[in-house]
Amino acid sequence: MYPTFTETKLRTFTEDVFKAIGCSNEHSELAADVLLKSDLRGIDSHGVARLSGYVRLWEKQRINAKPDIKVVHETATTATVDGDAGLGLVVAPFAMQIAIEKAEKYGSGWVSVRNSNHFGISGYHALMAVEKDMIGFAMTNASPLVAPTFANERMLGTNPMCYAFPAGKYPPLIVDMATSAAANGKLEIAQRSGKAVPEGWIQDGQGNYTTDPHALKTGGALLPLGSDRDHGSHKGFGLSATVDILSGVLSGANYGPWVPPFVAFMEPSPNPPGQGIGHFLGAMRVDGFRPVDEFKANLDNWIKRFKSAQTVDSTQKVIIPGEPELEAEANRKVNGIPLVQAVVDDLNLLAERFGVERL
Amino acid sequence: MYPTFTETKLRTFTEDVFKAIGCSNEHSELAADVLLKSDLRGIDSHGVARLSGYVRLWEKQRINAKPDIKVVHETATTATVDGDAGLGLVVAPFAMQIAIEKAEKYGSGWVSVRNSNHFGISGYHALMAVEKDMIGFAMTNASPLVAPTFANERMLGTNPMCYAFPAGKYPPLIVDMATSAAANGKLEIAQRSGKAVPEGWIQDGQGNYTTDPHALKTGGALLPLGSDRDHGSHKGFGLSATVDILSGVLSGANYGPWVPPFVAFMEPSPNPPGQGIGHFLGAMRVDGFRPVDEFKANLDNWIKRFKSAQTVDSTQKVIIPGEPELEAEANRKVNGIPLVQAVVDDLNLLAERFGVERL
């Protein structure tokens, strides 16, 4: 059994830590909301477990607690935002808000972001659009951990992409996925348990497939979605490249192997081609294409049909994208958020350091 | 050795066949251009090999040779197009042209399409935007051949997505991919040669993995990119769902298992929820985000760095998305387009039927 905490307890704690490093009240609340949403939705790797990581980057002056986030280039429906090295947790919602405002006026809005940091879960940002009956898009590049097909070098992050759609009687359909075969969070779980990972997730320092979850520490790399050429790893590579170009090359952020590492003990590249990490966010009004009620009725019909698809095993239904996260959220809202002890200990070190109430 | 034909010869032939079924000169030239681009780029499955398939759908009155393609809903940057059951080969470029015009005015343009048919290769349409220094997006849903994760039923097409980016000294970077582990064209090649396919491409009628390329004829299905749950097939399913929703649910086309089959011998569903098949096309001006020359210089830098990545095998470099198709195009422009004899015979039957000069 893991120690379990209420949402409120963790939220207050997280806000207090952000305030302690100098974030405004508004930014602290927003950043905590993004992390909590991740914990509530069962994506433990992207929630409060990352809080001390953000603090370490702040200590290294790689995260600016008081950023002046601003639009540096725009048209009616496009913009580039400079995050001023702020927390991605606040920079990305700022950018998404601009995308939504543009979509309200012109049907769609698209914002690329440079000079930012890790933005938490993509789904948080994409869902901001869904609440306005828009389709939400969110992606980000990230520290290089993934080797392109045929490469023996980490060139790309797990570069997630998220597409979110408002449904009617069903909850939103949300595709929120790393473009690698396995997300880094899954690898971390295997590292903690010492269990072998499936072949096709990682390669070792020589570029051979391995099931050793620690292979990344000795020059290995995660593999793109598809795992190998025969099974379409060039497609996973292509998707990851798309995320990298829209987030990094289009905005003026770093890209590819130059994306600065999330871990504070690794230094960024000495002569980077851009600023910080990059995101790409978008919103399209559903009623820019057809009436919202028609769209929602048809998406409900889609979901209903897929939920009732014939299955290979009668005990395992087809899972609609976003369903497991929603179930976790319903459960954890009521029953609390379990944290592994190592995370609790890590957070309590922050508590002592900043004079915040311990968990 | 395959019989080989010049681009001009095949182009004239294809135009003549489209004219013979009643397409206007303009539409015939455009439709032929889309098919030829596919053959030139080495995507043999989507080129003139499909010509008799389009003719059979026309015979069944499922393709309208004289469509009245029109915008039925729009905002400044979004639109829905009704293809009037026309060839997707002409409907999609019509829609992309609208996306480009909206992007010229407002920074971006997005068009969903209903009541269309197979649109050839996604890359053709996305490249129309790239020629204007825009980023091009193209996707389409397609006849159900793919089983979602855990399903034993064909619910989705190979639903391709394409992202295309203009570079500077390098050719455009183009990610153009089926969201299934293997494209149907690859399966057809294995069927013709009688060779086993890699495990992870298809499942049989009972939902078990099989290497038999003919398993689709006995109730089997293609698998999503990722192949199985452990390797991320839910991600391939999610991407395919995204294509289906943007192309079908958003436009008012059919979606999921209701997408009408490309093969004329299979009848469409009796009570479909939409009209024809759907596409989704988009264009974003690069200079809506940063100056074009800056973007291109950085994308060139991206490409150069990835081309020179350390590799596992010194004889196999990293392949930039779109590179193989470009090499094929350069080669086939000069040396002609090889066709398998079965395709030549099939085309010559069309020639006899329509009084067109034989190949």
The arithmetic mean of pLDDT across residues A305-314, rounded, is 96
Say whether pLDDT at A1 is over 80. Answer: no
Kindly report the nearest CA distance between residue B2 and chain A, in angstroms.
25
pLDDT at residue B157, as a whole number: 97
Tokens of A140: 């980000």
CB contact under 8 A, B107 and A235: no
pLDDT at residue B184, as a whole number: 84
Q: How far is C-alpha A317 from the chain's CA centre?
A: 26
pLDDT at residue A17, as a whole number: 98
Chain A residue at shortest CA distance from B110? A108
* Complex-level ipTM: 0.98
- A157-191 pLDDT, tens digit per residue, is 999 999 999 999 999 999 999 999 998 888 888 88
Q: Work out the pLDDT band at B280, boundaries 50, 70, 90.
A: very high
Which residue among A74, A152, A289 sits closest to B250, beta carbon to beta carbon? A289
Kindly report the CATH number that applies to the domain delimited by B68-291.
3.30.1370.60
Which residues of A are less than 8 Å from B163 in CB distance?
238, 242, 246
CB B35 within 8 A of CB B51: yes
The arithmetic mean of pLDDT across residues B29-54, rounded, is 96
CB contact under 8 A, A290 and B73: yes
CB contact under 8 A, B173 and A245: yes
CA dihedral A327, A328, A331, A337 (to 10 degrees): -170
Q: Nearest 5°: CA angle at B69, between B67 and B70?
A: 150
CB contact under 8 A, A312 and B152: yes
Kindly report the nearest CA distance between residue B129 and chain A, in angstroms.
15
Q: Work out the pLDDT band at B138, boundaries 50, 70, 90.
A: very high
Counting beta carbons within 10 angstroms of the beta carbon of residue B318, is it exposed (0 to 12), middle (13 to 18) or buried (19 or more)? buried
The arithmetic mean of pLDDT across residues B341-350, rounded, is 95
**Alpha-carbon gap, residue A16 to B42, rounded angstroms:** 59
Which residue among A155, A177, A250 sits closest to B289, beta carbon to beta carbon? A250
Which residue among A231, A273, A312 sits closest to B200, beta carbon to beta carbon? A231
User: Nearest Cα to A192, choosing from A209, A211, A210, A214?
Assistant: A214
What mean pLDDT, rounded, does chain A reach?
A: 96
pLDDT at residue A312, as a whole number: 96
Which residues of B are less than 8 Å from A227 in CB distance?
227, 231
pLDDT at residue A184, as a whole number: 84
Q: Work out the pLDDT band at B57, boundaries 50, 70, 90.
A: very high
Which residue among A80, A108, A237 sits closest to B108, beta carbon to beta carbon? A108
Q: How far is C-alpha A342 from the chain's CA centre?
A: 22
Rg of chain A, C-alpha, whole Å: 20
User: Nearest Cα to A45, choosing from A158, A151, A147?
Assistant: A158
pLDDT at residue A227, as a whole number: 97
- A242-253 pLDDT, tens digit per residue, is 999 999 999 999
Contacts of B259-262 with CB under 8 Å at 24 or more apart are B259/B141, B259/B142, B259/B143, B259/B144, B259/B157, B260/B62, B260/B143, B261/B143, B261/B144, B262/B53, B262/B57, B262/B117, B262/B118, B262/B142, B262/B143
User: Nearest Cα to B200, choosing from A179, A236, A230, A177?
Assistant: A230
The arithmetic mean of pLDDT across residues A330-345, rounded, is 96
Kindly report the nearest CA distance between residue A264 and chain B, in angstroms.
25
pLDDT at residue B272, as a whole number: 97
Which residue among A181, A207, A298 sits closest to B231, beta carbon to beta carbon? A181
pLDDT at residue A185, as a whole number: 82
Say whether pLDDT at A6 is over 90. Answer: yes
Say whether pLDDT at B298 is over 90. Answer: yes
CB A274 within 8 A of CB B298: yes
Percent of all residues in chain A with a pLDDT value above 70, rounded to a whole number = 100
Kindly report the nearest CA distance between residue A230 and chain B, in angstroms.
7
pLDDT at residue B188, as a whole number: 84
Which residues of B are less than 8 Å from A318 in CB distance?
148-151
What mean pLDDT, rounded, does chain B reach?
A: 96
Q: Work out the pLDDT band at B148, boundaries 50, 70, 90.
A: very high
- B204-259 pLDDT, tens digit per residue, is 999 999 999 999 999 999 999 999 999 999 999 999 999 999 999 999 999 999 99
**Alpha-carbon gap, residue A195 to B10, rounded angstroms:** 57
Q: What number of C-beta contacts closer than 8 Å exist between A and B? A: 275
Is the full-model pTM beyond 0.90?
yes
**Alpha-carbon gap, residue B346 to B352, rounded angstroms:** 10
CB contact under 8 A, B298 and A255: yes
CB contact under 8 A, B78 and A289: yes
pLDDT at residue B186, as a whole number: 85
The arithmetic mean of pLDDT across residues A85-114, rounded, is 98
A67-81, A106-120, B176-190: segment of lowest average pLDDT: B176-190
Which residue among B107, B230, B302 sits closest to A256, beta carbon to beta carbon? B302
pLDDT at residue B1, as a whole number: 74
Kindly report the nearest CA distance between residue A356 and chain B, in angstroms.
40
A304-313, B181-190, B314-323: segment of lowest average pLDDT: B181-190
Q: What are phi and psi of A154, to 5 degrees?
A: -80, 115
Say whether pLDDT at B90 is over 80. Answer: yes
Which residue among A288, A299, A317 sits closest to B75, beta carbon to beta carbon? A288
In the Cβ-directed half-sphere of B204, how many Cα atoms lie within 13 Å? Answer: 9
Which residues of B are less than 8 Å from A130 in CB distance?
none
**Alpha-carbon gap, residue B330 to B40, rounded angstroms:** 8
CB contact under 8 A, B311 and A79: no
User: Nearest Cα to A250, choosing from B134, B88, B347?
Assistant: B134
pLDDT at residue B160, as a whole number: 98
Say whether pLDDT at A40 is over 80. Answer: yes
The arithmetic mean of pLDDT across residues B181-189, rounded, is 87
- B92-108 pLDDT, tens digit per residue, is 999 999 999 999 999 99
pLDDT at residue B193, as a whole number: 83
Tokens of B249: 């649910």
Chain B residue at shortest CA distance from A175? B238
